Structure 1
């Protein structure tokens, strides 16, 4: 295990103001203006787009219709190991965005033809069904495998220590058997296509193929993901995701 993988290791309506006047003979008054609700503001309308921002028709078509949670990982560039992560929740109004989190991806960036050891993160849309880690379950609704098997040592590409990288992980269902522990080594597409692609704790540098977040953000992600909402991850460099 090394440097981050387990195998490669609608417009808003504005409320009208009611200016009713008191009966004749009384001093005229107006009723208080109602405060606009969050759905009555332009800012809110912008925060819940009908479609996920930055995604083209091919990418959107891959997102399952029943997915109500999307972890959107947008790489800074095709060859960059840096990216950002936003968790979106589908509402009746559209897609509501959470906070934007900094992240790392693979050393050499992104590919839509991932192979074991190529130091690229796979581009695509993948389901999220299983979690685990060295630390105890923080309270996620996903199946969670706590195990000493998530222990990792050594250093990353920039000399940073890897210890603690697998304190929390969420398996990305690229070339793996959904419904199994992240430590399961079944590779349906064959060993050459790699595997062990996870969301995990950031160690301060590029990964072999995974996406890494701070421990705080990984814990928040684990507490938010809900299998009843059929979460998926959409990941790739910005240009690739526009297809």
Structure 2
């Protein structure tokens, strides 16, 4: 179904008013805000008021409490980047699957814009260009259900025109599309591509089509050393990533040669 006639934008003179989507679900409603504490928080508040918001996308020019994985702060500058959250009613309760399609959507978007660049994914949620971080994705779910669907929100932060060089608020290995191309980039163009790609991948996920194989092509994590804690233990373990399973979990060989399948917030890459 084409949702172009249903779309609403909650901001006057929005640069996204001319967005062109022929999506099945994603972007059925777009809420553009000048400033918000967090698009993720806004999305969950919207679910509280009206559960049926499948495909609604919230995009903000500025966030005061934007967050990344493990509660880290996501830094951006006003009206320079893509800071958005996508509201989903999904049969897929495994959040790793949503992280997979979100990171792939970012990769496919970057491939349309950037040429002859090394684009990769660092497990589980960072997208890199030439080993520098350009985007991050997160996913959260709720115990609430709607017509047998689980509620989830996927957050995407993509550095579009962010000035990274010499910015003491950012890690050294941070980049943006503008810094790679040496020119200011249209957020509208990037946002369109991102939502189109996410919609296509979400449709594949709902049809149980294979997405993990495509995702693994971009992963740079195989063969890397990691540290981790086992459940109910504070002892730090060291291992090597051997592979990724069908749910996006790391298969790690520990120092004793045991294979462990882990998807845990304590995992840290050493290499």
**Normalised TM-score (structure 1):** 0.26
Structure label with greater radius of gyration: 1
Structure with more contact order per residue of length (Cα contacts < 8 Å, sep ≥ 6) = 1
